[in-house]
Amino acid sequence: MLTLEKFEEAAEAVSKVTSETKLVYSEYFSDQTGNKVYLKPENMQYTGAYKVRGAYYKISTLSEEERAKGLITASAGNHAQGVAYAAKKFGAKAVVVMPTTTPLMKVNRTKSYGAEVVLYGDVYDEACEYAYKLAEEHGYTFIHPFNDLTVATGQGTIAMEIVKELPTVDYILCPIGGGGLCTGVSTLAKLLNPNIKVIGVEPAGANCMQESVRQGHVVTLPRVNTIADGTAVKTPGDLLLPYIQANVDEIITVEDTELIVAFLDLVENHKMVAENSGLLTVAALKHLDVKNKKVVSIISGGNMDVITMSSVVQHGLIQRDRIFTVSVLLPDKPGALVNVSTIIAKMQGNVIKLEHNQFVSINRNDAVELRITMEAFGTDHKNEIVKALEESGYRPKVVKQKGIYQGA
């Protein structure tokens, strides 16, 4: 079913609802990797992600009767918005089942397109099972977020745009959740140029497609654990696995901690916000063992709520030693704090938080604990500040910062 003719038909259809996401050359990532790196910013779509492509194309192929029944889907957010928006364009009712863990912004945006939202289950798979139940009860037409070859054809139109703009592309990095995007992109890329290498990228905590390819059949993971909620899928599409096996050259995984660093890199160097799933291909760039190649990273989405964003920024700064905490013991007498502050100021550290614990020792005159959280320029600067405190006799101890994004 995934033919060049169908991809061309899909490209014409989705052009009615998509923005032109021109490739963005990244000098920063090119310097970091030794390749020529381009970003395909699907986070700039009106719905904030590529998903509108597959949703709109799928709905465009339905009969009037199928649309009149009402449409239903399950999604962690981006497909939900794509279906809601596309359904609105066709004047059809849309019901979307979303996991209870879905970020509030994605829920509200889906509702804003006129869809009825039902929150159910902790992960996508549980929401999907409930959506099938509702479809059977009410006679809705189900629009699967990935395990549908028509949907995958719509997603694959991204590859056509990439090749048209950069005919000499060597590598395309594509995120994998259930596999719809990577199936479409890899199949069309190989149809247009068999020499293009397509690399699928999954979160290490939700690598269902990698395991399925490795074992030669669809594998259901016992659990998923990743901050990349858009790709937190236990079971990949069984209709898609043969296409992934035939057209994807390699599947690699990245850790959640790598996504946090990738977020900072993208924001600071491109002033661009991408959600955790959309960052997979950026984090994967350093895993490519190639040089002097033209590489395109598909930024699949940018629907990140501000609370998640603030947490990612904070933990990213901690990971890069741009925020750190030290504990020092000092006598509880006037001037002690000034002495420590003076040392830090001379080293150009910026204090942002102080915690004074008088109960660390029975003898307060002997020692109280002072925890100092401060900003630094990075690991080298942090080590210089710690060394300066050591040389002044304070015996500082670096306090490990723990949080939800560091496995604590």
Q: Round to whole Å and give the CA distance between 36 and 334.
A: 58
Q: Cβ(113)–Cβ(88) under 8 Å?
A: yes
pLDDT above 70 covers what percent of the chain? Answer: 96
Per-residue three-class SS string for the chain: CCCHHHHHHHHHHHCCCCCCCCCEEEHHHHHHHCCEEEEEEHHHCCCCECCHHHHHHHHHHCCHHHHHCCEEEECCCHHHHHHHHHHHHHCCCEEEEECCCCCHHHHHHHHHCCCEEEECCCCHHHHHHHHHHHHHHHCCEECCCCCCHHHHHHHHHHHHHHHHHCCCCCEEEEECCCCHHHHHHHHHHHHHCCCCEEEEEEEHHHCHHHHHHHHCCCCCCCCCCCCCHHHCCCCCCCCCHHHHHHHCCEEEEECHHHHHHHHHHHHHHHCCCCCCHHHHHHHHHHHCCCCCCEEEEEECECCCCHHHHHHHHHHHHHHCCCEEEEEEEECCCCCHHHHHHHHHHHCCCEEEEEEEECCCCCCCCCCEEEEEEEECCCHHHHHHHHHHHHHCCCCCEEECCCCHHHCC
- Which class is domain 321-406? alpha beta
Q: What is the pLDDT of residues 161-218, one digit of tens each?
A: 999 999 999 999 999 999 999 999 999 999 999 999 999 999 999 999 999 999 999 9
Instruction: Quote the pLDDT of residue 1.
Output: 78
Is domain 53-142 in CATH 3.40.50.1100, yes or no?
A: yes
pLDDT greater than 90 at residue 52 = yes
Average pLDDT on 223-251 reads 94
Per-residue pLDDT tens digits for 312-371: 888 888 888 889 999 988 877 788 888 888 999 999 999 988 887 766 555 555 678 889
Per-residue pLDDT, averaged over 210-229, amounts to 95
> Where do the domains of the chain lie?
4-50+148-316, 53-142, 321-406
pLDDT at 404 over 50: no
The CATH architecture annotation of domain 4-50+148-316 reads 3-Layer(aba) Sandwich (3.40)
Integer angstrom CA distances of residue 172 from 185, 196, 199, 226, 241: 9, 7, 6, 23, 18
pTM over 0.75: yes
Would you say 261 and 231 are in contact if contact means Cβ atoms under 8 Å apart?
no
Task: Kindly report, residue by residue over 373-382, the tens digit of the pLDDT.
Answer: 999 998 999 9
Which tokens belong to 54? 């597959």
Query: Would the CATH topology of 4-50+148-316 be identical to that of 53-142?
Result: yes
